[in-house]
Amino acid sequence: MDFNLSDAQKDIRDTVRKFAETRIKPRAHELDEKEEFSAELTKEMGELGIFGIIVPEEFGGQGLDYLSYVIAVEELARVDGSHAATVAAGVSLGIAPLLYFGSDAQKKKYLPRLAAGEGLFAFGLTEPGAGSDSRGSKTKSVQNPAGSWTINGSKIFITNGSCELTEGIIVQTVSGRIRLRIGTQTVDLSAGRAVVLERDVPHDVEALEESAFLLTISWPKDYATGPGFPAEANVEGLPKINSDE
């Protein structure tokens, strides 16, 4: 097995290192001090192609390997953890769920802008009462008879969830319970569903911009009375579940 970097990977390392040294380093300290997010530098990272490294060319990316992406994040982190986090969350939490689990329509709709760094998607897992223990999540998603969705819950600490480039959030929700028989035992588990929420979907924002990175959002209890809710369930293959929990 060859552990050496390929020429293309070395090029990515050198290009991102130069960008981090010349563009990010002079501003990183001040941005940290002021707790500011730089849309300008984020877009520049997008122009450089950093957000699109693992995205296939048909969706506007470079279609390169995962190691190339890791090298880019490492080079950013070498200079500034915040910009590395913007990219790591933008790609691993924003782009990757859409890329691996999204429908074709979602990929065509969202990925080109995300790959270009023109917009960001976030991933909402953590809640006030559920962090490491993600099975403790309480945010619920229930499909209403008319087909719309009710999302009810709170999420915190959502990287890229509140900046001007945020275009949507993929929200981890509980949609019911399933009972699995494993051998002679019966296990009762929460069943989950990932929901794509676009930025324009109306919701109550409890505490906007605690900092550039952190946001608490709650969705109204009854979305059925609001405008059509364009969320789409992305997790396929779940057994039929009860949503009356």
Ligand X SMILES: Cc1cc2nc3c(=O)[nH]c(=O)nc-3n(C[C@H](O)[C@H](O)[C@H](O)COP(=O)(O)OP(=O)(O)OC[C@H]3O[C@@H](n4cnc5c(N)ncnc54)[C@H](O)[C@@H]3O)c2cc1C
Given the rule CB under 6 A, which residues bind ligand X? Answer: 85, 89, 93, 122-126, 131-133, 157-159
Question: Token pair of 192, please?
Answer: 């989950």
149: β partners: 143
Which CB atom, from 16 or from 84, has the smaller least distance to ligand X?
A: 84
CB of 189 to ligand X, least distance (A): 18
**Contact (CB, 8 A) for 48 and 41:** no
Which CB atom, from 62 or from 166, has the smaller least distance to ligand X?
A: 166
Handedness of CA 229, 42, 55, 77 (dihedral sign): negative
Which of 133, 116, 136, 134 has its CA nearest to residue 125? 134
**Contact (CB, 8 A) for 86 and 26:** no
Which CB atom, from 131 or from 230, has the smaller least distance to ligand X?
A: 131
Q: Of all residues in this chain, which one has the CB nearest to ligand X in the complex?
A: 131
Burial class of residue 101 (count of CB atoms within 10 Å of its CB; 0-12, 13-18, 19+):
middle
Which CB atom, from 130 or from 142, has the smaller least distance to ligand X?
A: 130
CB of 85 to ligand X, least distance (A): 6
